[in-house]
Copies of this chain bind each other. A is one copy, B any other.
Amino acid sequence: MALIQDLNWRHAVKAYDSTKKVSKEDIDKIVEAARLAPTSSGLQPFKVLVVENQELKEKLVKGALNPECMRDCSHVIIFAGWDRYTADRIDKVYDFTTDERGLERGRFGSYTDKLKEIYLAQPAAENFAHIARQTYIALGLALGQAAELKVDSTPVEGFDNSVVDEILELDKLGLKSVSLMYVGYADAPQDWIAPMKKVRIPTSEFVVEYK
């Protein structure tokens, strides 16, 4: 029951202690959990940007709804998705996959042809809506991994994507920001939500069973 215990332990921290830094080892593990997340058709259509640089964090404050957390946390992890699916991007992932598996390239050609047929016919916004969803699987697992390490974190949607994208020049990477995750150690006296009970709707309401 380790993951459940970790999820009960975690909460969305509201204030960080700016003097405490998360170790490189722990950051690497959090990022690794995100990397191992499953994605639709195994396309892994996103990257994570890990910002430890204080000057850059100060710039990102401009786009943050909770500027203190942005400034005081140890690291900001940004989940950024491909701006759209392309034939090249799909081929690159599958070529790498077949190479790694010792299979001939094109082994999954009929499958990738179908993916291209579907995705390339869609507008970029529809592609990105699908891509953005995938990043949330990784966000969930990264939050779980942080909790396992007893590293505090905050999942964040409330920020100005265009500001973040511009400051990090994500267009040059073919990416658009989706969500953020603050990582660090709470400033306990200021973290007003910490003493409050964790509340979830009761299991009897959350689950509908068909036996």
Chain A residues packing against B (C-beta within 8 Å): 1-4, 6-8, 10, 12, 28-29, 31-38, 40, 42, 44, 47-53, 56, 93, 96-97, 100-101, 129, 132-134, 136-141, 143-145, 148, 155, 157, 168, 173, 196-197, 199-201, 203, 205-211
Contact = CB atoms under 8 A, between A and B. Distances in A.
Contact of A133 (B3, B133, B173): B133
Given A139-B137, A140-B139, A4 B129 contact: no
A1 B149 CA distance: 8
Given A37-B140, A97-B199, 14 more contacts: A4-B145, A28-B203, A31-B203, A35-B201, A38-B143, A47-B208, A48-B208, A50-B209, A50-B210, A52-B210, A101-B197, A129-B129, A139-B140, A140-B144
Contact of A49 (B33, B34, B48, B210): B210
A56 B3 contact: no
A50 B208 contact: yes
Given A137-B136, A210-B56, A199 B100 contact: yes
